[in-house]
C-alpha cells in the first residue's frame, strides 16, 4: 500500500521503517531535512515539503500525521487538508483530545476528506515489537487501511473502537491506567528499598516476571530522573468528572506525577525511568 507520512520523531521514524520493510511505499516529510535523509536511507521516498509530498501519492491518498499534539497537529492537518482532494484520508496517530477529533472530522467531511484517529501505543520499542493501535472513524475507511495497521501492529494488536474520536478516547483511558500501574510499581519498590532486608530490587523485578500476577513489561524498565506529564492523564480525569465516574487511583497517579517535578524520591525516579525507557520521554537527571 502507498502512504504519506508526516513526522519523523521518536516514533515516526520507526513506524515508517516498519512500513517500508513490509513493502509499503512510504513518502515522508519532516521539518528537519536530516530526518528526511535518514528515512530515505531506510528506503522511503523523501519530500522537501507537504506540497511536494502530496503529488507523489496516487489518489485516493492516505496521509498519516505523527507530530506533537495540540498546535503542531492542528496546523499540520489544516496544511495537509488544503492539498488533498475528496476521497483522500488523513490519519492522526498522535495524542489528540477526542473532542478535537469530532470537530476535525466534521470540518474535513465538508471537503469530502475522511478522518481516522488512531491511538498509538508502543513507544520507541514499536519497531521491534509492533504498535497497539486503537482506531476510530468510519469503519469502512478504517478497513481500507487494514494493510497499514497489520504491518504496524503485532498479531491481534489493532482494533476498530468506533466512530470519530473513539480511538483517541480509548488511548486516553489507556494512558490513565498506565500512570496508575507505574505508580503502583514505583511505590512498592520504594518501600522495599527502605526495608531492613537489603533486598535486591532487580532480582525481585526479574522474579516477578515469572509467574507472578503482577508481572508486566513495565517491570523491566528502570533508570532515574524527572517526568513530564503528556497531558492525557489530565484529559482522562476531566472526562471522568464530566461523566460523574469516580477514578481515585488514576487521579492520585496523575498528582504524583506532578510531584515528581518538585522533589526527588526513589519512587519518582523509578517512575521517570519507566516512562523514559518505553517512550523516550524527557527526563531531568
| Residue ranges covered by each domain of the chain | 2-164, 171-279
Q: Is 97 a catalytic residue?
A: no
Please state which of the ranges 116-125, 146-155, 172-181, 263-272 shows the lowest mean pLDDT. 263-272
Which pLDDT does position 192 carry in this prediction? 86
Per-residue pLDDT band at 15 (split at 50, 70, 90): very high
Label each residue of the chain as H, E or C: CEEEEECCCCCHHHHHHHHHHCCCEEEEECCCHHHHHHHHHCCCEECCCHHHHHHHCCCCCEEEECCCCCHHHHHHHHHHHCCCCCCCEEEECCCCCHHHHHHHHHHHHCCCCEEEEEEEECHHHHHHHCCEEEEECCHHHHHHCHHHHHHHCCCCCEEEEECCCHHHHHHHHHHHHHHHHHHHHHHHHHHHHCCCCCCCHHHHHHHHCCCCCCCCHHHHCCCCCCCCCCCHHHHHHHHHHHCCCCCHHHHHHHHHHHHCCCCCCHHHHHHHHHHHHHHCCCCCC
Which pLDDT does position 193 carry in this prediction? 82
What is the grid cell recorded at 133? 493501535
Report if pTM > 0.95: no
Per-residue pLDDT band at 261 (split at 50, 70, 90): low
Of the candidate CATH numbers 3.40.50.720, 3.30.565.10, 3.20.20.70, 3.30.70.20, the domain formed by 2-164 belongs to 3.40.50.720
Q: CATH assignment of 171-279?
A: 1.10.1040.10
- Segment 200-221, tens digit of pLDDT: 888 888 888 889 998 887 776 6
Neighbours of 280 (CB within 10 A): 14
Which pLDDT does position 262 carry in this prediction? 54
Stretch 162-186: mean pLDDT, rounded?
A: 90
Whose CA is closest to 1, among 76, 79, 86, 89? 89
- Segment 108-150, tens digit of pLDDT: 999 999 999 999 998 888 999 999 999 999 999 999 999 999 9
Q: Is 178 a catalytic residue?
A: yes
Stretch 155-168: mean pLDDT, rounded?
A: 98
Output the average pLDDT for the chain: 87
What is the percent of the chain where pLDDT is above 90? 60
- Segment 42-92, tens digit of pLDDT: 999 999 999 999 999 999 999 999 999 999 999 999 999 999 999 999 999
- Segment 227-260, tens digit of pLDDT: 444 565 666 667 766 777 776 776 776 766 666 5
Q: Which of 38, 97, 178, 187 is catalytic?
A: 178
Which pLDDT does position 226 carry in this prediction? 35
Does the pLDDT at position 24 exceed 70? yes
Amino acid at each position: 500500500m502507498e502512504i504519506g507520512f508526516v513526522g519523523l520523531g521518536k516514533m515516526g521514524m520507526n513506524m515508517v521503517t516498519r512500513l517500508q520493510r513490509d513493502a509499503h511505499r512510504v513518502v515522508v516529510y519532516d521539518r528537519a531535512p536530516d530526518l528526511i535523509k535518514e528515512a530515505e536511507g531506510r528506503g522511503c521516498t523523501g519530500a522537501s515539503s507537504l506540497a511536494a509530498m502530496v503529488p507523489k501519492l496516487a489518489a485516493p491518498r492516505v496521509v498519516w500525521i505523527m507530530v506533537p499534539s495540540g498546535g503542531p497537529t492542528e496546523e499540520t492537518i489544516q496544511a495537509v487538508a488544503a492539498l488533498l482532494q475528496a476521497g483522500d484520508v488523513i490519519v492522526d496517530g498522535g495524542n489528540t483530545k477526542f473532542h478535537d477529533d469530532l470537530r476535525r472530522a466534521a470540518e474535513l467531511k465538508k471537503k469530502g476528506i475522511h478522518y481516522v484517529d488512531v491511538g498509538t501505543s508502543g513507544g520507541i520499542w514499536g519497531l521491534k515489537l509492533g504498535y497497539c493501535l486503537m482506531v476510530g472513524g468510519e469503519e469502512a475507511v478504517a478497513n481500507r487501511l487494514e494493510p497499514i495497521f497489520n504491518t504496524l501492529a503485532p498479531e491481534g494488536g489493532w482494533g476498530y473502537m468506533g466512530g470519530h474520536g473513539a480511538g483517541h478516547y480509548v488511548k486516553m483511558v489507556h494512558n490513565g491506567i498506565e500512570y496508575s500501574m507505574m505508580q503502583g510499581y514505583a511505590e512498592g519498590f520504594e518501600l522495599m528499598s527502605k526495608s531492613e532486608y537489603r533486598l535486591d530490587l532487580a532480582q525481585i523485578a526479574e522474579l516477578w516476571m515469572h509467574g507472578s500476577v503482577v508481572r508486566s513489561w513495565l517491570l523491566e524498565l528502570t533508570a532515574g530522573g524527572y517526568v513530564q506529564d503528556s497531558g492525557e492523564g489530565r484529559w482522562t480525569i476531566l472526562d471522568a468528572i464530566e461523566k460523574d465516574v469516580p477514578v481515585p487511583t488514576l487521579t492520585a497517579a496523575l498528582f504524583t506525577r506532578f510531584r515528581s517535578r518538585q522533589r526527588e524520591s526513589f519512587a519518582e525516579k523509578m517512575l521517570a525511568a519507566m516512562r523514559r525507557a518505553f517512550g523516550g520521554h524527557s527526563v531531568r537527571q
